[in-house]
Amino acid sequence: MTENPQVAASRAVAYLRVSTSRQMDTATDIDADGLSIATQREFTARKARDLGAIIDKEFIEPGNSALSIDKRPKFKELLKHVMATPGIDYVIIYMRSRAFRNLGDAVITKRHLAKLGIKLVSARENFGEGYMADAMEAVTDIFNELESRRNGEDVKAKMRYKMLAGGYNGRAKVGYLNVRESHNGKLFNTIALDPERAPLVRQVFELYATGDYTQQELHLAAVDLGLTQRPTPQMPYPRPVGSTTIENILSDPFFAGWVQVDGRLIKGRHEAIISQALFDRVQDVLEARSRNSNRDRVLYHYLKGLLVCGRCAQAGRANRLIYTQVKGRSGEYHGYYLCRGRQKKTCDLRHLPVANVEDAVAEHYQSLPIADSFVTGAERAITDALREEQAVTEELQAALRAQLSRLATREERLIDLAADGALDRSKITTRANQIAQERARIEARLTETRADLQIGATRLREALELARHLDHLFLALPDDGKHKLTRALFDRLEVDEGDYDITVSGHQLKAPFNDVFEAATAHAQRSAAGHPDMEPPKRTIPCHEAGDHRLVSALTGIQLVGGSSTGYLVGADGFEPPTARV
């Protein structure tokens, strides 16, 4: 607030405004309200002194760029203040363009203030008095409105062009951050993945793609996971995402790497949070639930999400089988699997009764068990690999300890050079940092022990034992157990219908079962050829960090990976697929 030390007969209020909130952050070391507001304050105070008035109160509009004063809350607050406060003589603005963006608002406000005996004054513009001054003010307001609209259209055109090139405008969506990056020495606005929220957004898609969550349940799960909106100046604390936000996220192709312009999808320049395949699976679930206005009904079947159309796979198309239920004449619901390609008119596979599909999968399990002789040989190979790995590990650790000893010698020499003043401080600091980083790398590698390989070997033995009894295990399990077992083994099962029955025409196994069954198949082929004990080729498998390569036995396709950093065998949770912890 600026006051004239002289006793003044007139009183005024000042209106200061910036178009964007960023202008409030410029040169805050000089003025807490930013350089633009500070400049306006200086000129309005100078105008008040010229008028012989004191400024009772300031109204600062931070970042409301609107064509109408109806969307400027501080200006409306100013009008209420002068109506409720007798004795105000002037409303001082920096320039008319700061207060008004159209002639209508300017005329109405001026007349309204005049009825209260208040004069509207511009600090930077002196139009004088009389009807010619009124005419000049009106012309100025008209040109301000013209310029505002012209700038608005120009900005819209530029924003549209940016989106046609795959760019994005405005506040980043949940899972992304607004950032400034440099290109050829010039800064530009763009978006980047939010390291905190992007993984949670991906998990929201993954949970819904299972078909086990309604949107209401998914919203609660997202809140439990900790997915929040980013703070804003108005809401400085993170808030849990709302149910509407979750609903919008699920159907927005932006998260799969697209932007929409005039209803068209254009490949965006931003990094996708989810794959196109995951986005398509979510759309399948949304589409299936939207049918018959039954958006929130969750249809459960233990094979749901694992089956793909074998007919489409043969044709080079990727279409999942969607589980649905049809109400019969008796009023009972009957389960079917239908190909998504049939909905698109690209596949002629009929609706498959769920009981027949279950029989086909059970029959497929009967073909999976592996021979006892292969399991015995594989376990022997694992034991041999562990024995060989122990010797390699001991040699590696001896070499690493020697490297640490040499580093200690280098460090002592560096200390001597520093004491003698033979090197300047910057070079000493650089070399000391290099030694420290190298020591940390070596010590980290020393902590890698045979236990890593032992864990991987244990998991592989579990996989062998599981594969040995798959046929009996599958039939004995309840539906929930069949669901977990099938998800642990397979990425997908390809289902097709022949002339007489429904069959599993192909599958894609998860690691390590893909290698186990590949090895078992090779073993069976050699046995059939009369060479069951033929020595298979060994493979060199890179393990741990780059540059550390060790020979690990790989018999008949079985891979034993030395250490969890390559993480190839099975995760720490065993063979049951991860479930949402919500």
Instruction: Tell me how far apart the alpha carbons of residues 234 and 244 are, in angstroms, rounded to a whole number.
Output: 20
Instruction: Tell me how far apart the alpha carbons of residues 279 and 293 are, in angstroms, rounded to a whole number.
Output: 22
Sheet of strand 10-18, all strands in order from the earlier edge strand to the far edge: 53-62, 10-18, 90-93, 119-122
**Structural domain of 117:** 10-158
Please report the pLDDT score of residue 576 as a whole number: 39
Contact 281, 304 (CB under 8 A): no
Q: Tell me which DSSP letter residue 569 carries.
A: S
* Final residue belonging to a domain, choices 222, 249, 281: 281
- Report yes or no on 229 lying in a domain: yes
> Domain check: are 379 and 259 in the same one?
no
Instruction: Specify whether 36 is catalytic.
Output: no
- Report yes or no on 424 lying in a domain: yes
> Domain check: are 387 and 535 in the same one?
yes
Instruction: Tell me how far apart the alpha carbons of residues 571 and 456 are, in angstroms, rounded to a whole number.
Output: 9
Please report the pLDDT score of residue 66 as a whole number: 47
Instruction: Tell me how far apart the alpha carbons of residues 289 and 528 are, in angstroms, rounded to a whole number.
Output: 50
> Domain check: are 140 and 207 in the same one?
no
Instruction: Tell me how far apart the alpha carbons of residues 472 and 475 are, in angstroms, rounded to a whole number.
Output: 5
Instruction: Tell me how far apart the alpha carbons of residues 103 and 117 are, in angstroms, rounded to a whole number.
Output: 21
- Report yes or no on 430 lying in a domain: yes
> Domain check: are 16 and 129 in the same one?
yes
* Final residue belonging to a domain, choices 222, 254, 281: 281
> Domain check: are 475 and 534 in the same one?
yes
- Report yes or no on 460 lying in a domain: yes
> Domain check: are 409 and 456 in the same one?
yes
Contact 19, 66 (CB under 8 A): no
Backbone angles phi, psi at 290, to 5 degrees: -75, -20
Residue 21's SS3 state is helix
**Strand extents, DSSP E, 128-263:** 176-183, 186-193, 228-229, 239-240, 258-261
Cα–Cα nearest to 1, from 74, 84, 58:
58
- Report yes or no on 110 lying in a domain: yes
- Report yes or no on 360 lying in a domain: no
Q: Going by DSSP bridges, is the β-strand pair 53-62/10-18 parallel, antiparallel, or unpaired?
A: parallel
* Final residue belonging to a domain, choices 252, 281, 310: 281
Tell me the one-letter amino acid at 217.
E
- Report yes or no on 264 lying in a domain: yes
- Report yes or no on 253 lying in a domain: yes
Neighbouring CB atoms inside 10 A of 146's CB total: 12
Q: Could you give the maximum distance between any two Cα atoms of the chain, in Å?
A: 116
> Domain check: are 99 and 236 in the same one?
no
CA dihedral 89, 93, 94, 99 (to 10 degrees): -170
Please report the pLDDT score of residue 391 as a whole number: 74
Tell me the one-letter amino acid at 238.
P
Please report the pLDDT score of residue 38 as a whole number: 85
Helix, strand, coil percentages in the chain from 3-state DSSP, rounded to 5 = 50, 15, 35
Residue 46's SS3 state is helix
Tell me the one-letter amino acid at 196.
E
> Domain check: are 536 and 442 in the same one?
yes
The reported pTM is 0.41
Instruction: Tell me how far apart the alpha carbons of residues 485 and 473 are, in angstroms, rounded to a whole number.
Output: 9
Give 580's Cβ-side CA count (13 Å radius): 23
Per-residue pLDDT of the chain (582 residues; tens, 9 = 90+): 455 554 546 899 998 887 654 544 443 444 444 467 888 889 999 989 988 899 989 988 876 554 556 667 888 888 889 888 888 999 988 888 777 767 777 788 888 888 888 888 888 888 878 778 778 877 887 877 777 778 777 767 776 767 777 777 888 899 999 888 887 778 888 889 999 999 999 999 998 988 878 888 888 888 888 899 888 777 788 888 988 899 999 999 899 988 887 777 788 888 999 998 899 889 888 887 776 445 555 667 889 888 999 999 999 988 888 888 887 788 788 889 988 888 778 899 999 999 999 999 999 998 887 877 888 888 888 777 777 777 777 777 788 888 888 888 887 887 777 777 777 777 777 777 777 777 777 777 766 654 556 676 777 788 788 888 888 888 888 888 898 899 889 989 999 998 889 999 999 988 888 888 888 888 788 777 776 554 444 433 333 333 333 322 333 333 333 333 333 333 333 333 344 333
* Helix 103-115 with 73-84: angle, nearest 10 deg: 20
Neighbouring CB atoms inside 10 A of 53's CB total: 21
The radius of gyration of the chain from alpha carbons, rounded to an integer in Å, stands at: 36
Please report the pLDDT score of residue 452 as a whole number: 59
Contact 273, 249 (CB under 8 A): no
**Strand extents, DSSP E, 238-374:** 239-240, 258-261, 264-267, 307-309, 321-327, 333-339, 352-353
Tokens 């400027």 map to which residue? 72
Long-range contacts of 66-74 (CB under 8 A, 24+ apart): 66/101, 67/101, 67/102, 67/145, 67/148, 67/149, 67/152, 68/101, 68/102, 68/105, 69/99, 69/100, 69/105, 69/109, 72/17, 74/15, 74/17
> Domain check: are 398 and 504 in the same one?
yes
CATH number at residue 204: 3.90.1750.20
Tokens 């007798």 map to which residue? 86
Please report the pLDDT score of residue 545 as a whole number: 32
Contact 205, 254 (CB under 8 A): no
Instruction: Tell me how far apart the alpha carbons of residues 296 and 212 are, in angstroms, rounded to a whole number.
Output: 11
Contact 63, 23 (CB under 8 A): yes
> Domain check: are 131 and 189 in the same one?
no
Contact 195, 273 (CB under 8 A): no
If 0-12 CB within 10 Å is exposed, 13-18 middle and 19+ buried, where does residue 488 land? Answer: middle
Take residue 93 and report the two structure tokens written for it.
Answer: 């603005």
> Domain check: are 436 and 488 in the same one?
yes
Structurally, the chain folds into a number of domains equal to: 3
Q: Which of 19, 21, 65, 148 is catalytic?
A: 19
Neighbouring CB atoms inside 10 A of 376's CB total: 11
> Domain check: are 152 and 233 in the same one?
no
CATH number at residue 97: 3.40.50.1390
Q: Tell me which DSSP letter residue 233 carries.
A: S
Element spanning 90, H or E: strand 90-93
Instruction: Tell me how far apart the alpha carbons of residues 12 and 388 are, in angstroms, rounded to a whole number.
Output: 90
Instruction: Tell me how far apart the alpha carbons of residues 149 and 81 are, in angstroms, rounded to a whole number.
Output: 30
Contact 324, 307 (CB under 8 A): no
